[in-house]
Structure 1
Amino acid sequence: MPSEQRNMVSFMMKSGANYDAYQEYQTIDRNKIAPQTTSFKPVVAKTTDDDYNSNVTVITEMVRNETSKMLKKAMVKPNGTNGYLGWQLIADEGFEEGVNSFGPSPLSYLTTGVAANLHTQIIRVAKVLNIELDNVKVEVLNKFHWNDMMSAKGAGFLDETHTNIIIESSESEETIQNLKNIALNSWTAGEGLANATTIKPTLVVNGKNWDNYRATPGTTLTDEAYVDGLKISHITDGPIKSDYIEQVAKGIGDQSMDDISNLVFEILAISESAENSDRPYLKKVTVSFNSTGSETWELYSDELNGAEGKAMAPTSLEYVTAGTALCLTSQMTLVSAMLDLNCRDFRVEQQIDYREENINSTEMVGFADIVHSSVLIDSDESQERLNRFYQQSLSMCFAGEAFKGATDMYTHCYLNGKEIN
């Protein structure tokens, strides 16, 4: 057995260290203080009356727990928002079927953000066009795979994104078709997946970056998280299914190491209105892994109302940004285990620059311009081994590769149960 596989088996089989005390987290909660990066200075995006640009910054760190060695948290917020501190998200991954993890997976957060972001744009476009929509639902199915993960050339990919826009309305097919086209053009997260995005990664070894952010023991006591009286996250009774997308129900708990090294899996997110008349952008998103029921969460997403606004739940682009950084953190965990790397700690600091032009008009468009990603590690390993850790972590990151390359996008629109062209 190659050393990488042997090390991975050992990593998966052994329990983590026990600790005397644990920080108790909610799965999703407001940040107590704004995250402060150490490897770069966050830049506030320039905006005008016609353009709304947002640079979103996230910091991740591991959470030490004897039950899960994949437990981690992200602290995320848009730069330059007055009085809005953003959110803390707990993420986890498990390999046993039917066992609920401490939090949604990184790619569940990513897919949630992608679906909620399109849902937001549909509502915005309907307002611009002054049309009435009785109900809106957005389904996004992301198909991922690893390619020879347990080798030096291991890589992760987002192969396809399947999207359904499901609308109930008395408006004409022509009107809804026009709405769909404008919404897709302004779908910032979708544009980031559909087109190659500039990635600017950096490796930071040791240095003075560890005073405020280090992995510490922690846990989540329940899947139910409440913020300002809103149950913002919880595990559902079972998997969700789409009426329009065929899913592959394939678990991962009983697969061989070769199967896991070339793992193929799907994540489905369904975004619906939270039916809050005071918060039209508040959405309920149900996200399910592989339709097996091993990870099915209900999460909420909201949007800011200007620089002075305060979202009731993470914004769609906060979910996308945090999910991307958390995915990279997961790959760093796995690569360090495969290499049996001697490191004291690691984390990700990241900023994604988003751009929306011609807002509040029929010409609105959205873009994801640049991903600034810093990999920080505290280790005395050789530069050669650290470089492999760094490069392989980047290449194995499904979310990073999704932004870096061009994803095949398949979108359908349904009006009152009938597909329209």
Structure 2
Amino acid sequence: MKKSKKVVLVIASIIGVIAIAGFIYWFSMPSEERNMILFMMEKGETYTNYQEYQVIDRNEDPLAPASFKPSVAQTIDGAVNRNIVAITEMVKNENSKMLKKGMMQSTGIDDYTGWHLIADEGAAEGSNPFGPSPLSYYTSGLAANLHTQILWAAGVKGVTLDDIKVEVLNKFRWHDMMSPDGAGFLDETTTNIILQSSASKEVIQEIKEMALSSWTAGEGLRNETVIEPTLIVNGENWEKYHATPGTSLSEESFVDGFKLSSITAIPKKPEYLKPVVKDDGVLGFDTMANMEFEIFAIAESVENKERPYLKKITVSTPTPETWEIYSDEFIGDNDSPLAPTSLEYFTAGTALCLTSQTTLVSAMMRLEFTDYRVEDQIDYRQEAIDSVKMVSYTDTVHSHVLIQSNESQERLEQFYNKSLALCFAGEGLKNATEMNTNLYLNGKEIK
């Protein structure tokens, strides 16, 4: 009897020591790490009713931001300028705290309401996310936009290209994410232009240079782009756009019988791109805070004579699967594309990326809030589009973060500035990005 009491006392003492050690260790951790653990462990609330979304679908109504009045780009003398609005809102679902909806619309087009996308990150092991990640859409728009400009440049030159494929690999990085000075970066964009044609090397080189000069999204990354950010606290009009319970029942999206999204049967890889970042297999807090990762997108023609700019994009995500989504472009006044345009994907991906950072920063800070969203407009400009001198620009990113919260102004400013700093997509535009481009003609690299 005495022996069993001693055993119980020893076990109790060990448990006590472990508990005290665990208590000491827990409170020795930075508050950001503790808060992030709680965020990852806490299960989301379950709801009785969910709005069912397709991964990609048309908006029912034109977008109406609460923080600004969308403007229409002025088109003059050989220029085709375009302003694109994006609005994001969180989607409440117990299986993902990173589920969100991004809506985008090119302004100034009669009866055009634009599109919405479902974006997700961090699916549980063995399951697929509800949709591609924000940076998947961002990279897809980048690749699709260059594909469009190659096709346009070939048309200006009167050259037939038998096949066009564009591979883009974006390398992203966090630096000390949980510290006050944490930041996110787009370090490098590597692009492969892969063509099949009987045209000479010299002419193909000219087409390449024309396409790169008129690559609107690429120009935005290659140069420092003006970003005008605004924080709006407890503003009006949360009735139209707000976080609601929702889900996506399938990775396949159909609009007018055309399939716009699906997960590939097996993950696909680029033909020429080589990964740079290696997965070390261990994800501790230091690794997470300084995480490096890559997203690739492959844009290729679908050979539709009625929609010459319709293309398929194979894109990776932070999880192992690859998605196939589609992009189209306007081909006339009041045209209605079969899929989102390349710059709409790029614009929505930028806003969705910032929304992801607001989610993570609010978690790290244990910020008390009711709702938040992002409303953006990016102004794009193209000049001399029907000539060999065509050029394009990403002029200004107007970015608005809206939040409902009774936290102090100081805490909200900290939340806002940290979210902006961590946004890979926004930093890629704000700073000049290293751009590496390779050209392949009929299977051989052209230097």
1:199 aligned residue (227, 233, 245): 227
Larger mean CA deviation between 373-382 and 148-157 belongs to: 148-157
Structure 1 unaligned regions, length at least 5: none
Does residue 146 of structure 1 match 2:174? yes
Q: CA separation in 2, counterparts of 1:254 and 1:99?
A: 20
Partner of 2:115: 87
Deviation at 1:250, TM superposition (A): 4.8
Does residue 406 of structure 1 match 2:429? no
Aligned-partner SS, 1:180? helix
Partner of 1:260: 288
Does residue 286 of structure 1 match 2:314? yes
Does residue 299 of structure 1 match 2:325? yes
- 1:353-410 deviation per Cα after TM superposition (whole angstroms, max 9, x unaligned): 0000001111100100000000000000000100000000000000000000000000
Contact 2:149–2:215 (Cα < 8 Å) also in 1: yes
Change (3 A) 1:314 1:373: same
Larger mean CA deviation between 298-307 and 62-71 belongs to: 298-307
Deviation at 1:140, TM superposition (A): 0.3
Structure-to-structure mapping, 1:55-204, within 5 angstroms: 55-94=83-122, 96-204=124-232
Structure 2 unaligned regions, length at least 5: 1-28
Deviation at 1:238, TM superposition (A): 2.6
Supply the AA of the counterpart residue of 1:315: T
Supply the AA of the counterpart residue of 2:179: S
Partner of 2:6: none
Q: CA separation in 2, counterparts of 1:387 and 1:253?
A: 35
Q: CA separation in 2, counterparts of 1:316 and 1:325?
A: 15
Identity of aligned residues (%): 61
The normalised TM-score by structure 1 is 0.97
Partner of 2:65: 37
Does residue 235 of structure 1 match 2:263? yes
Change (3 A) 1:65 1:341: same
Partner of 1:309: 335
Partner of 1:397: 423
Contact 1:97–1:253 (Cα < 8 Å) also in 2: no
Deviation at 1:306, TM superposition (A): 3.1
Change (3 A) 1:418 1:268: same
The normalised TM-score by structure 2 is 0.92
Change (3 A) 1:413 1:368: same
Deviation at 1:147, TM superposition (A): 0.6
Q: CA separation in 1, counterparts of 2:65 and 2:300?
A: 34
Partner of 1:25: 53
Q: CA separation in 2, counterparts of 1:286 and 1:99?
A: 19
Deviation at 1:256, TM superposition (A): 1.1
Partner of 2:18: none
- 1:334-359 deviation per Cα after TM superposition (whole angstroms, max 9, x unaligned): 00000000000000000000000001
Aligned-partner SS, 2:230? strand
Deviation at 1:307, TM superposition (A): 3.6
- 1:303-346 deviation per Cα after TM superposition (whole angstroms, max 9, x unaligned): 01234110100000000000000000000000000000000000
Q: Larger helix proportion, structure 1 or 2?
A: 2
Deviation at 1:47, TM superposition (A): 0.2
Partner of 2:302: 274
- 1:132-174 deviation per Cα after TM superposition (whole angstroms, max 9, x unaligned): 1100000000000101111111110000000000000011000
Q: CA separation in 1, counterparts of 2:370 and 2:445?
A: 54
Q: CA separation in 2, counterparts of 1:303 and 1:65?
A: 33
Q: CA separation in 2, counterparts of 1:376 and 1:36?
A: 14
Q: CA separation in 1, counterparts of 2:69 and 2:255?
A: 29
Contact 1:101–1:295 (Cα < 8 Å) also in 2: no
2:353 aligned residue (320, 327, 348): 327
Contact 1:90–1:103 (Cα < 8 Å) also in 2: yes
Partner of 2:275: 247
Larger mean CA deviation between 411-420 and 245-254 belongs to: 245-254
Supply the AA of the counterpart residue of 1:368: T
